Structure 1
Amino acid sequence: MTQNDSNLLVEVSTDYYIDGKSKVEIARDRGISRFQVARLLTQAKDQGIVRIEITPPRVDGERGRRLAERLGVREVLVAASGDDTVTTRENLATELAHTARRHITEGSTVGISWSRTVEAAVRHIGKLPSCDVVQLVGALPVEGSGNSLGLINTFAQMPGVRTWPVWSPLLVADAATAAGMRRQPEIADALARADHLDVAIVAVGHWSERTSTVFPQISVEEQQAATAAGAVAECSGRLFDAVGRPVRTSLDERVVGVTLEQLAATPEVIAIGYGSAVAPGLVAAVHGGVATTLVIDDAAATALEDLYRAD
């Protein structure tokens, strides 16, 4: 593309997006067809000249700053709770995408766990600088949504982004099978890269049937054993207690994915969570060192405030 071509893309985009001219007006002023204008606008978006960002209204930023100070994290970003779970996730996803773009820089090694919200955030993340994206957990198909393999493939389509997939389920039948999967060269390479992450993006879920994607996948006996051992929350298939200590059960031995210790060694961990039930898990994640930035909804923020008022 010549400099003149680049200038034309910038000028047409400015006419349309900044000055509010219609495609017909731009076509008339520049002596081209409106179909050519439409192609130029599409080309400008494809090349990153135009980036469109949709951000839902945020709760007062002062509220997030107070929570961050009380929790001892770098940042707390509070998105609006929706009328239903889908809307809440979408609001969080938009905020998560915005936050991730601020932290992912040229040459970064980025770890991506999976959740419905993380998956939705990728639709809003747009173009990334050249970086490595490491899949942090094996696949966990959930009805009505994708999984971590589909997520890593989305990143693989982005120019300049190298990906390191984990070709395994998140949960396998027994500890021996999990150990064998972790020894597979491609999987071992991906999980080893989790030792050297610059940024990780994860989800924290309250340990219950309705609020954890892992809980419904295991037996009643395993559910009860984990709860009895003190589990209050899970992140990437790993369980931890109210003060952020890992909870070791037979479930932990069957997980193919990042460890809590690897996340705790990562300089920037962006953790998302929503709903009032997740508040103790978010506090525990911070205490355990597996969250440095929180992206939460209004309900989770209110529950956190209630916890600290009780203290």
Structure 2
Amino acid sequence: MTHPDSNLISNLLVEVSTDYYLDGKSKVEIARHRGISRFQVARLLAQARDQGVVRIEITPPRADGERGARLAARLGLREILIAASGEDTATTRENVAVELAHAAHEHITEGATVGVSWSRTVEAAVRHIGRLPQCDVVQLVGALPVEGSGNSLALINTFEQMPGVRTWPVWSPLLVADAATAAGMRRQPEIADALARADHLDVAVVAIGHWSERTSTVYPQISPEEQHAATEAGAIAECSGRLFDAAGRPVRTSLDERVVGVTLEQLVATPQVIAIGYGAAVAPGLVAAVTGGVVDTLVVDDAAATALEDLLPH
């Protein structure tokens, strides 16, 4: 039997929450009207949130569909989703992550084999995806821990918790000490199985990074000599640790030999590759990825979209 006081408190939580969130009354006004203190109002509002009486959802602005369609037509892509650029990188990343989650829900169908490469944005998108249909998720790259963020192993573990989702992890760092070590890691049965499955993906989710210290998670992890060698060889962008030039061609350096992960050739052979990139600097890399046949769907922010529009002939 419900205690009468419980009903009174429940009703009060609803009434105070309605006053504050829907009617726009201040805590002082609510306190004066109901004969309680402002601090009691604050406690009631906090209690309402804790008990689920009030649920607050923050939804970034959705993509500009018409603009994305025009830009996709100019690039020869299936689709481009354009998210709002935020006041800082974290906000921009979150906005792009929301759009990436929408794209994932649209393209990942029951029974699909899905390859996922780690990035901060992909990691953020998983929070918005919630659940996936029954499918197989393949880790496309080894782990590259980044301060303040997770890594590809943590990401694949998140997918593993989803009902009906089977996962194939790559139990290796993304970058190892030398080519011989990388070759040995690729021969390990579990890793070899996961990377072999990248030959038979239905969908891949990857990130494109501009080849520079500030905009690539790989660049700061290698020696200045390797950085210089990659730049001299024509690298302008990277995807899953793989470098490519302005024509979308793979750039082969000693770095490429140390990567444990999917190849650009495997991504080119994948029917549907969803790639994210944000910031104006990444635009040439995005064009190169399209030129090289790596990408089918792009998820970008407004700054990247504007830079793409400026790069492309009218």
TM-score tier, shorter chain, comes to 0.7 to 0.9
Contact 2:277–2:301 (Cα < 8 Å) also in 1: yes
CA displacement, residues 12-65 of structure 1 (integer Å, 9 cap, x when unaligned): xxxxxxxxx99979xxxxxxxxxxxx9xx99xxxxxxxxx98642135321101
Counterpart position of 1:183: 187
Matched letter for residue 149 of structure 1: L
Structure 2 unpaired stretches of 5+ = 1-10, 16-48
Distance 1:125 1:247 in 2: 33
Give the alignment partner of residue 90 of structure 1, picking from 85, 91, 94: 94
CA displacement, residues 259-279 of structure 1 (integer Å, 9 cap, x when unaligned): 000000000000000000000
Judging changes above 3 Å, is the alpha-carbon distance between structure 1 residues 286 and 54 closer, same or farther for their aligned structure 2 residues? farther
Contact 2:64–2:83 (Cα < 8 Å) also in 1: no
Matched letter for residue 261 of structure 1: E
What is the CA distance between 1:180 and its match in structure 2? 0.1
Give the alignment partner of residue 127 of structure 1, picking from 131, 136, 156: 131
Q: CA RMSD in A?
A: 2.2
Q: Secondary structure at the match of 2:208?
A: strand
Contact 1:113–1:135 (Cα < 8 Å) also in 2: yes
Matched, 1:64 2:64: no
Identity %: 84
Matched, 1:273 2:300: no
Distance 1:23 1:202 in 2: 45
Judging changes above 3 Å, is the alpha-carbon distance between structure 1 residues 59 and 158 closer, same or farther for their aligned structure 2 residues? closer
Judging changes above 3 Å, is the alpha-carbon distance between structure 1 residues 212 and 228 closer, same or farther for their aligned structure 2 residues? same
Distance 1:164 1:61 in 2: 34
Give the alignment partner of residue 136 of structure 1, picking from 129, 133, 140: 140
Superposed counterparts of 1:1-311, under 5 Å: 55-309=59-313
Contact 2:64–2:81 (Cα < 8 Å) also in 1: no
Matched letter for residue 105 of structure 2: R
Judging changes above 3 Å, is the alpha-carbon distance between structure 1 residues 22 and 97 closer, same or farther for their aligned structure 2 residues? farther
- TM normalised by structure 1 equals 0.83
Q: Secondary structure at the match of 1:57?
A: coil
CA displacement, residues 205-244 of structure 1 (integer Å, 9 cap, x when unaligned): 0000000000000000000000000000000000000010
Distance 2:130 2:224 in 1: 41
Contact 1:222–1:251 (Cα < 8 Å) also in 2: yes
Distance 2:222 2:12 in 1: 56
Contact 2:110–2:135 (Cα < 8 Å) also in 1: yes
Judging changes above 3 Å, is the alpha-carbon distance between structure 1 residues 59 and 103 closer, same or farther for their aligned structure 2 residues? closer
Matched letter for residue 273 of structure 2: V
Q: Secondary structure at the match of 2:293?
A: coil
Counterpart position of 2:27: none
Distance 1:190 1:114 in 2: 15
Matched letter for residue 312 of structure 2: Y
Quick check: which has more Rg, 1 or 2?
2
Distance 2:216 2:208 in 1: 8
Distance 2:237 2:300 in 1: 15
Counterpart position of 2:35: none
Judging changes above 3 Å, is the alpha-carbon distance between structure 1 residues 275 and 187 closer, same or farther for their aligned structure 2 residues? same
Contact 1:54–1:94 (Cα < 8 Å) also in 2: no
What is the CA distance between 1:127 and its match in structure 2? 1.2
Distance 1:77 1:188 in 2: 34
Distance 1:53 1:159 in 2: 24
